[in-house]
Structure 1
Amino acid sequence: MSGLINQLLDEIPSNEEEQQTKALQRVADIARDLWKTEPGSTDLDLLAQRVGDLAREESNRIPLGQSGLLEFFCSVVSTQGLPRASLVVQCLRIIGNSSADTDENRARVVASGCLPAVVALLKNDDDEVLAFVIPVLFNICVDYADEPSSSEPAQKAIYQAGINPELISLISGPRLEDAAPLLNYICKLLGFVATQEPEANLVHPATPFVLLSLADNQPPPVDVKEFLGQTSVALTYLSQEQFQQSFLETPGSIKLIFQTFSTACGDLDASLEGPEDEAQLKQVQTAFTATLADLSAHALFASSCSLDGPEVATLQGWISTAHIPLQSAACLALGNLARSDEKCVYLVQARGIHKPLAAILADQSHVDAGLLHSVLGFLKNLAIPAANKSVLGDAGLFEAEALPRIWDLDAQTQVQFDAVSLARLLLVGCPANVHRICSPVGDEGKSKLQSLIDLSARSDQEPTQMETARAITTVCRVLHSTPAAAKESSSTPDIIDLDTFYATHNTIVDAMLRLGQQSKYPILRSELLFALALMARTAAAGAAAISRTASQQEKLLAFIAEVITGEKSKTEQTSNETENPSAPSLEEIQNLVSLEPQAPISSGTQQKPTTATTTRNVDRENALVLVAELLRQSSSSDALSADVKRRFEHLLREGGEMVLRERKSGE
């Protein structure tokens, strides 16, 4: 029989696909007869070996599939309790070689249903079988085709056959040494199934921990390709929330990811391996940063990392390294840990964690958007507690090379917004920082506040426009809330003269008006109204600045009129209207309303819920206070034109009557 088999295989034509297929069909018939009548015959092993050799030639693969030989040997390998490893090995050779670069045969293998049996062979203690089964599975699943979807059925099939738990058991148990030469294939196979929808018993929960442990335990010098293969697959699993909890529950997991991340940033030189490995290293570093950000958001991470423990010390050390991925990850992780005023105060005042952050912002060479975004985000957390604001200001955040530098990065709009938002938080209720931003810089005498005003004028980004206007409004609110500007630190300069302040920032009210010109965020309009009314009530210079803008800018009158009357563009009395002789006088109306803050500007403060009616009424009263103060001070100032004065008087009477009617209806 062996002679006949050899003769038939030797006579197979090499160039004609149709003739090859017919010849191989005759071989398939012989193979079926052998399997049926003499399953233990070594002739079948010989036939399988010769067919496996044929499959190594690309020109033979399609005929092997068309002849039925491939499906036959798939059925053989699926048989329970095959009598000998030699036949198993030859069947695997046929399956693996036939599938290489040949999508049609890969589809035939998947359709045959043999993959669960092939995956089950991973349990086989025979090292020879192991050496074949893993490359065969790889050949079946790897994507050689132009269409990535061509490999998906195979990957799904081996996933459902349980390849993940089998491979993880293999590389985390006593057979690791036997599997070591195949780790590259194993990691790729685990990567192929990493994004499949997780199902019970189909994914080992320790997968990312085992892979990171393999990467971390490499003897020096670290093999770049193996390290990147193992870590990239581990991070793919860790990007899925269901693996993050089990990972953090594993003792030593945080230390492990810190160590492998450090290795990826400091101990590898992927450029020695070529541009592809260098690109993959950057992808792995980015994935580490994202993964650590996700993990640090879990309660388990916070409970495992005390603020005075080694984990936080490691993260703090990363901030001062020369590796941007480590710096960014540290800021993101520490920002997730610093979620209470108490923790933020401790990190700033006990650990001085803000100092290297300020140094990054002040370093002109730091222009990486990701790093600046993470640094600014962390500082925003630290800036919320009142006790930290002046301390952060003392660290130089308002110096020209720090936040003002980033305000000028018009090409990085998100980073620019973050820098403005941080400035606003630092200014809330903090006279010391208000002094810093208002102080003149250099020979020109231009303040950092003027830089914000300039940014407000040129920005076409609505979030930046709003946040800039809020920061500017906050400055005015602080200046007029604490006219004495009590010093909060030794570096606080002298009290700011408001006449000089408004003279040198003569477009400040126009910048603030952005808050009133939008209707998307009512609370911002309320902030503006309260600040304007406060400015007008507490200082003649503030009232004069608003009056000048009102006389020059119709939009300010329109905004005030809309708040008072509830109607847009109603700024003057029509010709057929007459004053109500029973209406209260201007003096009575001025005494009728009081200045009320709608809500504190500061973040992190719990607010009582308010209704739209309550908000509207408070805004109206603040607008009336503003108008009343502007009219009261107009007698000693020529900032308010006669026409605007007349229109304000009408609005004050109309608004006062509305307030009286509402109060009477509520009695």
Structure 2
Amino acid sequence: MSSSISQLFDNFPDNEVQRTKALGRVADIARNLWKGEPGSSNLDILAQKAGDAARIETNRIPIGESGLLEFFCSVVSTQGVRSSLIIQCLRIIGNSSADTDKNRAKVVASGCLPIIVSLLNNDSVLAYVIPVLFNISVDYEPAQKAIYQAGVNPELVSLISGPRLENAAPLMSYICKLLGFVATQEPEANLVHPGTPFILLSLANNQPSPIDTEDFLGQVSVALTYLSQEQFQQTFLETEGSIDLILQTFSLACEDIDTSQDPDNETQLQQVQTAFTATLADLSAQPLFASSCPLDGPEVQTLQGWISRPHIPLRSAACLTLGNIARSDEKCIYLVQQRAIHKPLIENIADQGNSDAGLLHSILGFLKNLAIPAENKPIVGGAGLLEIDVLPRIWSLDTQTQVQFDAVSLTRLLLVGCPENVHRMCAPLSEDAASSSHIRSKLHLLMDLNERSDQEPTQMEAARAITAICRVLHSRDNSPAPGEEIATDSPSATTAGSLSAFYKTHSTITDAMQRLIQQTKFPALRSEQVFVFALMARTSEGAAAVARAMHQGELADAIVEIVTGSPAPTPSTSPPNGESEQTALSSLSDLRQLANLEAQAPTNATTGAQKSMRDVDRENALVLIAELLQRSPNDLPHDAKVTFKRLLKEGGQRLLLEREDSKGEGESV
């Protein structure tokens, strides 16, 4: 009988239709054997021959169309079948499903996949079950969904995390691929082992030397796929030792895996390193991560050490992770003042060979966090960050617009309220008076960037940084009273010698700042600039600079619109009602009284007792106009001067009364 069964598979017709008919007759014989003598070895022989035939690509569709595949799917689904026959059934199912979606669909429709998944508990057939599940599922989503719903994840994870790991080790590549197939399925209770990513990372991290690259990459890839989903992140972080585990495994992926001889592995390794960086960024954004990593603990020490490693992925991940941990002034102050963490960051930026956009972005982002506390600004700025070949080097990267923006944004943060850093920005590029660089400063470089950039965010940030400099120079502690010289020991004095010298050296500085007033997209930036112009106009030098800027008519029109709430009208050549320019205000004392009012810093408050931004802008604009008319009238263009005087006549006295009423109300409370 066995010889006649073997002959059934000899000399199959070349024609697919005839071959299907021939295999249909084989299927009938198999059914009869199953009914008449299910325990006979003849059925095992027939199944073995069918499994061999299924290895030939041209036989696969006929095996499916003949009914032979569906028959053996029904056999494997039967309880109590002997292991030898199960193995042959699995061979038929697995071989005929290779690259053949029609047969895969028949397998899924037969309902045998839950039974095949349950066979993962049977070590005697394990070496067949796992490859068969792979053949059915690879590149075929319906089968992936079916094996997921059959519980393949908890079965496989239990297999590799328990005493049966030794049996599973030779099949680790397939196991990881299967876990990867189902990693993105919608999580359901009891269908995913909650410890999947931790267990896989543990396997990868604990491999004996030399590390098996394929197994390592497979285990890590799947673990990171699970950790990219928020629902697994919390459970992972709740597992003791999870943070140290992922840091150690990432370090292995960067420093101990050699893929130089295999381009495919090299590509996968790069993908793994990128995924590690993204995963650490996600995990460190969770409150539990930060609370599990004290600033004086080993995790932060490890991350700080990565900043100086030669591997870009480690450096990028360290900056992103530490940036997420350092989300309070207290933590940022500690990292700068106790751990000097800014120094290796600055060394990275100073490295002329470092042009990796991702790394620069992560470093600059971390430094921006560190630069927010006022106590840190002079320390970070004084550590060399504002030197010509450090942060200004990044301003010149016109082809990396996001990195360039980050650098300008960091510059602005360093300058806000920090006279020391303003001095560093305004100091000559060269101390040699004979050098052409002596008459230029880093502020000039920032002004140049503002002029040449075609990126609106970069333009706005550069203008805000320049405005921050002028605000510091004209703040109460750092600028002279009207008509006085700057004190020789003030930051402003060491910056440029005097406001007069500053504005002479930086004669086009108001060009950048005008952008902020002329634009209407960002009202808060417009408010800030009106306020700073009003501060500048408290000195004759600042007033002259702003007045000269009014010769570009758009700025004067913007000021008029801020005061009136309407676009500026076409200017008249003479004051209304026949008044002369000298009598446009009710009296000179009104002008002086208005000019003596303090400009008000803008606020976002729009309700209650506090004035709205619109009201503050209008009042600051009127104070600005009054200062300009008092200190630098001859520098104003004629039309602007006429219009400004009219505005003061109409709005100045009302503002004085409002300020007086507000003062009275404050006293009566």
Instruction: Name the TM-score, length of structure 2 as normaliser.
Output: 0.92
The count of residues paired between Structure 1 and Structure 2 equals 645
Match of 2:68 in 1: 69
Residue pairs, 1:247-262, within 5 angstroms: 247-262=236-251
Q: Secondary structure at the match of 1:313?
A: helix
SS at match of 1:315: helix
Q: Which of 169, 172, 182 is 2:171 aligned to? A: 182
After superposition, residues 158-197 of structure 1 pair within 5 angstroms as 158-197=147-186
Contact 1:21 1:67 survives alignment (8 Å): yes
Q: Does 1:269 align with 2:258?
A: yes
DSSP-derived class of the 2:289 partner: helix
Q: How far apart are the structure 1 equivalents of 2:422 and 2:387?
A: 13
The answer on whether the counterparts of 2:585 and 2:591 sit within 8 Å (CA) in structure 1 is no
Residue 590 of structure 1 contacts residue 625 of structure 1 at CA under 8 Å; is this kept in 2?
A: no
Aligned to 1:146: none
Q: 2:96 aligns with which of 92, 95, 98?
A: 98
C-alpha contact (below 8 Å) 1:74/1:112 kept by paired residues? yes
Deviation at 1:653, TM superposition (A): 1.8
Secondary structure of the 1:645 match is: helix
Q: Equivalent residue of 1:400, what SS?
A: coil
Aligned partner of residue 406 in structure 1, secondary structure: helix
Match of residue 467 from structure 1: 461
* 1:213-612 equivalent positions in 2, closer than 5 A: 213-272=202-261, 274-442=262-430, 443=435, 444-445=437-438, 446-481=440-475, 482-483=478-479, 493=494, 496-537=497-538, 539-550=539-550, 552-570=551-569, 572-573=571-572, 577-578=576-577, 584-585=586-587, 587-588=589-590, 590-592=592-594, 594-599=597-602, 608=605
CA spacing shift, 1:486–1:87, aligned 2, 3 Å: farther
Tell me by how many angstroms 1:659 deviates.
3.9
- Whether 1:615 and 2:613 are equivalent positions in the alignment is yes
Q: Tell me the CA shift for residue 632 of structure 1.
A: 0.4
Counterpart Cα distance in 1 of 2:489 and 2:127 = 72
Moved more, 356-365 or 564-573: 564-573
Letter aligned with residue 402 of structure 2:
Q
SS class of match (1:270): coil
Contact 1:431 1:488 in 2 (8 A): no
Q: What is the DSSP-based 3-state SS (H/G/I as helix, E as strand, rest coil) of the residue aligned with 1:9?
A: coil
Aligned-CA RMSD value: 2.5
Identity, % of aligned positions: 66
Residue 157 (str. 1) matches residue 155 (str. 2):
no
Q: What is the letter of the counterpart of residue 500 of structure 1?
A: A
Are residues 11 and 370 of structure 1, via their aligned partners in 2, closer, same or farther at CA, if it must alter by over 3 Å?
closer
The 8 Å contact of residues 492 and 498 in structure 2, kept in 1 or not, is answered as no
Cα distance between partner residues in 1 of 2:403 and 2:497: 30
In the alignment, the residues of structure 2 paired with residue 168 and residue 28 of structure 1 have an alpha-carbon distance, to the nearest angstrom, of: 37
Deviation at 1:587, TM superposition (A): 3.5
Query: 2:640 maps to which residue?
Result: 644
Q: Is the 8 A contact 2:217 2:269 kept in 1?
A: yes
Encode CA deviations 1:462-506: one digit per residue, 9 max, x unaligned.
111111110000000000001278999999946641111111111
> Which residue does 1:654 correspond to in 2?
650
Shift of the 498–492 alpha-carbon distance from structure 1 to 2, 3 Å rule, reads: closer
Alignment partners' CA distance in 1, 2:487 and 2:149: 70
Q: In 1, distance between residues paired with 2:112 and 2:255?
A: 45
SS in 1 for 2:474: helix
Deviation at 1:7, TM superposition (A): 3.4
CA offset digits 1:613-663 (Å, max 9, x no partner): 71111111100111101110136xx42233332222122223326647978
* 1:17-36 correspondence to structure 2 within 5 Å: 17-36=16-35
Give the 3-state SS of the residue equivalent to 1:48 in structure 2. helix
The answer as to 2:129 corresponding to 1:133 is yes
| Distance in 1, Cα, partners of 2:510 & 2:621 | 15
Matched residue, 1:6: 6
Instruction: Give the superposition deviation at 1:29.
Output: 1.3
Alpha-carbon shift at residue 232 of structure 1 (Å): 1.0
Counterpart amino acid of residue 554 in structure 1: G
The answer as to whether partners of 1:586 and 1:652 remain within 8 angstroms in 2 is no
Contact 1:572 1:650 in 2 (8 A): no
Gap change, CA 1:135 and 1:487, over 3 Å in 2: farther
Structure 1 residue 413: Cα displacement: 0.7
Post-superposition shift, 1:595?
A: 3.0
- The answer on whether the counterparts of 1:598 and 1:619 sit within 8 Å (CA) in structure 2 is no
What one-letter code is carried by the residue in structure 2 that aligns with 1:596?
Answer: A
Secondary structure in structure 1 of the residue aligned to 2:566: coil
Residue from 198, 201, 204 that aligns with 1:212: 201
For the residue of structure 1 that corresponds to 2:384, the secondary structure is coil
The normalised TM-score by structure 1 is: 0.92
What SS does the corresponding residue of 2:39 show, helix, strand or coil? coil
1:147 equivalent in structure 2: none
Contact 2:584 2:646 (C-alpha < 8 Å) held by counterparts:
no
Deviation track 1:339-387 (CA, whole Å, cap 9, x = no partner) reads 1111111000000000001111111111100111000000000001110
Q: Which residue of 2 aligns with 1:604?
A: none
Instruction: Confirm or deny: 8 A CA contact 2:377 2:414 kept in the other structure.
Output: yes
